[in-house]
Structure 1
């Protein structure tokens, strides 16, 4: 009889895929490398699927392993969320709400809305979930996420949406970049630049937006996706090899070596519009209170 796959084996496999190394994954999980690598090997044997190509440089996911790792990631996330909910059940005396978002909350409307909700509804357990679009919508369908704030234009069966607000878009340069001296930046000014964006969060949205604005005669702009956080992406800009795109919400931190320059369309400032997404059959009472807060006008 085939032994069942265990959750810690899935966790080890996902960590290895993220770290691209058994040693780095073991360090992150605080386990011995030999234990982690043995568990992953046992998982591969049970599945009869090779998940990783091993070499002296590390561990790379195989094509056959990629869909399994993505499914394993969802399972691990769901289990972690269930554990968190169970641990914190006594904290939310008046209910719980899980709010997902893919944009930073260093500043901007979302930060104001969350801050006001936390202040007004202190007896509600508030769980923030920052993730990419695919994970957020998976969370909505699986009842892990109650409501998500994401760019407009996404449609899925069973998911309702409502337009919220828009945020200005900025090109991010080193302070001494030639374009940083211009009073106004238009999309066409960025045509020769190399962009770096995060592979998660709003990064894919920015990548599609850059491609849509700057592709001409079949020639696409240079866009590099990095599997890192927005903060790490912006930190790369100071190396003076790339530029990036960000919303005004990214300016909650003082980036002394960077210049945020607003981007203009022919009709005015370029903006990214957001919507609220939730399950149509979600009857969580805490959700209605969140609606009342997030739809208020905020300073930016």
Structure 2
């Protein structure tokens, strides 16, 4: 029997003989394609994580991962289980968030949609600054594609969105924010990595993998715009997975990818991030703030004030 201290929500929910925490370990390992990377994000030893996942496999009676020297690949049987586990983990996290919010949000709620990585960069700093200044505002970050952000703003489930410049929808206002440099992500021993500078034209014969979520479609469209020439279109493969998992796929030596500088908040073994150049210098992706003109949320006004202080003009 599991006991939790009074006033606290227990996240060691049992599913028969399985704990939700074990499901979290399995899902994170699948997303990271590596016990080492998953363990680093969990701040635990790789051997400990591997043992806990192995215990889960024994309880289930199926093998979830093929363990190799380069990482961990989900088995065919494991794929079905991981997707079910992901839904359960998400549901439990939502329940915990609801419980915590009972005493949270005393000064209102702010829902921010975004499609940039939070590993590092301007967006992460802006979010951290807001959370530090206004601890009693319920702050909900919602990651999604630009289309999801537009829908969220129009349906008023989001107060404000941060996305690349270029979104246009009746009733929405926008304000330019910052720009991020663009990088090609590749193996450190590849021929491209040996070049002094990498230009868009150097990438024409490469095969790219990008996420179909978040900023991935924007990057895919950018590749098509930059690399399409008469009789040739770039090879861009979309994967319904996270940006972190996309970067992990590069180790298979079949793909490269494109990432913004915000995606480099953690070290990636065997990967190099090289700036992409065009005729005007380093290639960049410009971001803007989007909101409904009729939104009078006081928490949003505080967010505008913070943004104005950090990024005037």
Q: TM-score, normalised by structure 2?
A: 0.69
Aligned with residue 97 of structure 1, among 76, 86, 110: 110
2:161 is matched with which residue? 148
Q: How does 1:155-194 map to 2 (within 5 A)?
A: 155-194=168-207
Aligned with residue 125 of structure 1, among 115, 138, 161: 138
**Unmatched tracts of structure 1, length 5 or more:** 1-18, 31-76
- Contact map agreement 2:146 2:167 (CA 8 A) in 1: no
Instruction: Check if 1:211 corresponds to 2:224.
Output: yes
Q: Distance in 1 between matches of 2:246 and 2:194?
A: 22
**Unmatched tracts of structure 2, length 5 or more:** 1-75
Instruction: Check if 1:109 corresponds to 2:122.
Output: yes
TM-superposed deviation, 1:296: 3.8
1:284 is matched with which residue? 297
Distance 1:27 1:281, change over 3 A: same
2:278 is matched with which residue? 265
Distance 1:210 1:230, change over 3 A: same
2:256 is matched with which residue? 243
Distance 1:270 1:285, change over 3 A: same
1:34 is matched with which residue? none
Q: Distance in 2 between matches of 1:28 and 1:260?
A: 30
TM-superposed deviation, 1:105: 0.8
TM-superposed deviation, 1:257: 1.2
Deviation string, structure 1 residues 109-155 (Cα, Å, up to 9, x no partner): 00111111111111111111111112111111111111010000111
TM-superposed deviation, 1:83: 11
SS in 2 for 1:241: coil
CA RMSD of aligned residues (A): 2.7
SS in 1 for 2:112: strand
Q: Distance in 1 between matches of 2:87 and 2:258?
A: 33
Distance 1:27 1:94, change over 3 A: closer
Structure 1: which 4+ aligned runs deviate by more than 3 Å? 21-30, 80-87, 295-298
Deviation string, structure 1 residues 12-31 (Cα, Å, up to 9, x no partner): xxxxxxx9x8766555445x
Q: Distance in 1 between matches of 2:309 and 2:268?
A: 29
Q: Distance in 2 between matches of 1:215 and 1:123?
A: 49
Give the count of matched residue pairs: 234
Q: How does 1:68-83 map to 2 (within 5 A)?
A: none
Q: TM-score, normalised by structure 1?
A: 0.72
Deviation string, structure 1 residues 180-204 (Cα, Å, up to 9, x no partner): 1222110001111000000111111
Q: Distance in 1 between matches of 2:308 and 2:270?
A: 35
- Contact map agreement 2:211 2:240 (CA 8 A) in 1: yes
Deviation string, structure 1 residues 76-105 (Cα, Å, up to 9, x no partner): x9xx99996797253111111011101111
- Contact map agreement 1:198 1:226 (CA 8 A) in 2: yes
Distance 1:82 1:141, change over 3 A: farther
Instruction: Check if 1:225 corresponds to 2:238.
Output: yes
TM-superposed deviation, 1:218: 3.2
Distance 1:209 1:289, change over 3 A: same
